[in-house]
Amino acid sequence: MDETFESWEGERQTLMSRKISELGLAIAGTRVEKMIDQLYADNAEFYADEPGDAPVERRGRAEIMENITQVNERLTQGKRLTTESTAFAENHDLLRVSWKMTTPHGDVALTGMNLLLRDRAGQVVRDYKERKVSQGIFAVRCAATGETWVGKSRNLDQQQNRIWFGLRAGGYINPVVQAAWKANGEGAFTFEVLEMIEDADLSDYSRANLLKERDAHWRAQLGAPKLVG
Q: Domain spans of the chain?
A: 5-132, 135-222
Least confident of 14-18, 60-64, 67-71, 175-179: 14-18
Q: What is the CATH number of domain 135-222?
A: 3.40.1440.10
Q: How far is CA 70 from CA 50, 66, 75, 172, in A?
A: 15, 6, 8, 34
Q: 135: which strand partners?
A: 197
Q: Is the pLDDT of residue 190 over 60?
A: yes
Question: How far does CA 25 lie from the centroid of its chain?
Answer: 24
pLDDT of residue 79: 74
pLDDT of residue 162: 87
CATH fold match for the domains 5-132 and 135-222: no
Least confident of 15-29, 41-55, 62-76, 150-164: 15-29
Q: For CA atoms 140, 143, 144, 146, give the dihedral sign.
A: positive
pLDDT of residue 87: 77
Least confident of 6-10, 30-34, 47-51, 200-204: 6-10
> Across residues 77-88, what is the average pLDDT?
77
pLDDT of residue 76: 73
pLDDT of residue 50: 62
Measured CA to CA, the distance from residue 168 to residue 221 in angstroms comes to 29
Average pLDDT score over the chain: 79
Report the top-level CATH class of 5-132. Answer: alpha beta
**Sorting pLDDT into bands at 50, 70 and 90, what band is 182?**
very high
pLDDT of residue 1: 42
Measured CA to CA, the distance from residue 29 to residue 48 in angstroms comes to 26
pLDDT of residue 92: 79
Burial state string for 40-61 with b = 16 or more CB within 10 A and e = fewer than 16: bbeebbbebebeeeeeeebeeb
pLDDT of residue 192: 93
Q: Is the pLDDT of residue 15 over 50?
A: no
Percent of the chain with pLDDT over 90: 29
Q: How far is CA 5 from CA 35, 38, 42, in A?
A: 11, 10, 17
pLDDT of residue 141: 97
Q: Is the pLDDT of residue 111 over 60?
A: yes
Measured CA to CA, the distance from residue 64 to residue 47 in angstroms comes to 10
pLDDT digit string, tens, across residues 117-130:
888 888 888 887 76
